[in-house]
Amino acid sequence: MKDVQLKRRDAAQIAYHWVNAAAIVSLTLTGLAISFGYPGTADLFLWHLWAAWVFLAALVFHIWYTTIRFKHFHRMWATLQDLRDGLKRVPGFGRMGSGPAPKHGFYKVEQIALHWALAGVLLIIVITGFILWKPGRDFVAPFWMPWGWDAVFFARVVHQVFTFILIAFVLAHIYFAVLVPKEWPRLKSIFTGKVSFSWYAKEHRVSPQLEAQAKAHQGSPPSGVAMAGMRPVEKG
């Protein structure tokens, strides 16, 4: 079934990924310049602010598109099976670390955990960002007003610390996507939206429905695509 392609991401998800990436890069560069107080950086705050609004708008769209429109929020919850499989992927973890690595769902439990950790980091960055932005302080008053201006100064430190944590997340994401060969098919899908069924089946638990869709498309024209659990299969 090497010629069968699965649609892992659609155009909207690919667009969100790159808009989000551009916003984070812009926020990071302008934020670092402002933080270190380089000459002429005062005007960069407006760019920083616009990038923040783009990031927030894209994030709201991502949450709506993934969890409300397509109801795929369950992918971000780990099951007991996911936890057991995650332990089996730890080399040398007693007997559970021996043998081949088990297959996983749409995401590994490690990816789910990192996703939630990243969500927490971003939430803290957003809240502290609103505290530092004078017109936005009223929106997050419970997070700073009881402590007065000390909380505002503290928010700046927290904002900077968690920004560096976010940078570490981004660098790790780029490292595993670009420098780990087995992840290259997944990396390619962020441009094309597709992965091969043979690659998908090596690492993921394949449902009978998806396997039936893939078999139905075996030998079909290149335009035939089976969906990786997103929408009904497209006809080639």
Q: Where are the domains of the chain?
A: 11-182
Using one digit for the tens of pLDDT, what is the confidence trace for 50-101?
999 999 999 999 888 888 777 777 777 877 877 777 777 776 664 454 556 7
Structure tokens belonging to residue 177? 């996507």
Contact between residue 214 and residue 195 where contact means Cβ atoms under 8 Å apart:
no
Q: Give residues with Cβ within 8 angstroms of 166, minimum separation 6.
A: 24, 28, 118, 121, 122, 125
Angle of CA points 191, 63, 168, to nearest 5°: 65
Say whether 98 sits in a helix, a strand or coil: coil
Position 61 scores a pLDDT of 92
CATH code linked to domain 11-182:
1.20.950.20
Q: Give residues with Cβ within 8 angstroms of 25, minimum separation 6.
A: none
Along the 236 residues of the chain, how does pLDDT read in single tens digits?
Answer: 445 888 888 899 999 999 999 999 999 999 888 888 777 777 888 899 999 999 999 999 988 888 877 777 777 787 787 777 777 777 666 445 455 677 777 888 888 888 899 999 999 999 898 888 888 777 777 777 667 777 888 888 999 999 999 999 999 999 988 998 888 888 899 999 988 888 888 878 887 777 777 777 765 544 445 555 443 333 32
Structure tokens belonging to residue 37? 């107080």
